[in-house]
């Protein structure tokens, strides 16, 4: 790989910015200053530094975000602010959200540039349970809980797959679903004559939202969390 690409990817700089820092002699490859941005580097074995600090190449980056309300899961939107605005200064080109949460939904969202992971976690055949804390308009009856648990007709070809319902109090349930249909939770509650007043994703499989993250904050996934996600 060319040195300028290596530095663009890792430092999040533009090609012209990289050209400047390289021509000023601020970059070394294997302990030797190089002033040519087209120097070939092996990202696995070569040691690159910028201003004396090691610059490690990571092909893929993985983040856990506590999504705030009001942001759309997209790279750009003509009307609304987007999740990717939060990541503008982060390394890792080509980041995208793993699946979609609605604009008003909060909580656990993964962001990565690993297209294979995005694909495997969002493909329709993948049935990983996701837990949502749902603020409901009315308390659920035993019949509602039974219907949600067994599967409800939300207007698609097939009813929803069996879900799990945990009643927290009159206003809150935790609904666990293993599919990711469009507005699924909201449509499931409508199917039992209820309404979602607020929705927060708590977990995906065994990976749980880090509650120390305030809405809008994110952190890198731990090695364990990543291994978990890759196993689904």
Which residues are annotated as catalytic?
A: 102
From the list 22-30, 76-84, 184-192, 216-224, the region that binds ligand URA by CB under 6 A is 184-192
Specify the stretch interacting with ligand URA by CB under 6 A; choose among 76-84, 90-98, 116-124, 177-185: 177-185
Taking the complex as a whole, how short is the minimal distance between the CB of residue 189 and ligand URA, in angstroms? 8
The only residue of 105, 112, 194, 203 in contact with ligand URA, by rule CB under 6 A? 105
72 binds ligand URA (CB under 6 A): no
Tell me: does residue 186 bind ligand URA (CB under 6 A).
Answer: yes
> What is the nearest approach in angstroms of ligand URA to the Cβ of residue 43?
37
Alpha carbons 103 and 225: distance in angstroms, whole number: 25
Question: Could you tell me which stretch among 45-53, 101-109, 165-173, 214-222 binds ligand URA (CB under 6 A)?
Answer: 101-109
Nearer to ligand URA, 25 or 182 (CB): 182
Interaction between residue 194 and ligand URA (CB under 6 A): no
Q: Is residue 106 at the binding interface for ligand URA, with CB under 6 A as the rule? A: no
HEC readout, the chain? CEHHHHHHHHHCCCHHHHHHHHHCCCEEECCEECCCCCCECCCCCCCEEECCEECCCCCCCEEEEEECCCCECCCCCCCCCEHHHHHCCCCCCCCEECCCCCCCCEEEEEEECCHHHHHHHHCCCCCCCEEEEEEECCCCCHHHHHHHHHCCCCCCCCCCCCCEEEEEECCEEEEEECCCCCCHHHHHHHHCCCCEEEEEEEEECCEECCCCCCCCCEEECCHHHHHHHHCC
CB atoms within 10 A of CB 63: 20
Q: How many residues bind ligand URA (CB under 6 A)?
A: 8
Taking the least distance from each CB to ligand URA, the nearer of 57 and 232 is 232
Residue with Cβ nearer ligand URA (13 or 190):
190
Structure tokens at 119: 């694909």
Considering the complex, what minimum distance in angstroms separates the CB of residue 81 from ligand URA? 16
Binding site for ligand URA (CB under 6 A): 101-102, 105, 183-186, 199
């Amino acid at each position: 790989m060319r040195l300028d690409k290596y530095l663009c990817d890792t430092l999040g700089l533009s090609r012209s910015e990289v050209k400047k820092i390289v021509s000023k002699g601020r970059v070394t490859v294997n302990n030797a200053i190089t002033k040519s941005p087209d120097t070939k580097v092996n990202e696995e074995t070569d040691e690159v530094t910028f201003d004396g600090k090691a610059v490690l190449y990571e092909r893929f980056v993985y983040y856990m975000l506590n999504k705030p309300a009001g942001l759309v899961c997209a790279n750009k939107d003509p009307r609304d602010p987007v999740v990717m605005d939060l990541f503008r200064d982060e390394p890792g080109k080509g980041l995208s959200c793993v699946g979609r949460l609605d604009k008003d939904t909060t909580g656990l969202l993964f962001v990565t540039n690993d297209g294979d992971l995005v694909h495997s976690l969002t493909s329709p055949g993948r049935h990983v349970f996701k837990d949502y804390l749902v603020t409901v308009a009315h308390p659920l009856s035993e019949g509602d809980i039974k219907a949600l648990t067994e599967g409800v007709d939300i207007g698609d070809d097939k009813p929803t797959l069996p879900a799990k319902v945990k009643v927290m109090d009159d206003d809150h349930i935790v609904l666990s679903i293993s599919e990711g249909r469009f507005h699924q939770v909201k449509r499931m509650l409508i199917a039992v004559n209820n309404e979602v007043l607020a929705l927060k994703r708590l977990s995906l499989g065994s990976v749980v939202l880090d509650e120390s993250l305030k809405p809008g904050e994110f952190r890198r996934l731990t090695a364990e969390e990543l291994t978990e996600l890759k196993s689904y």
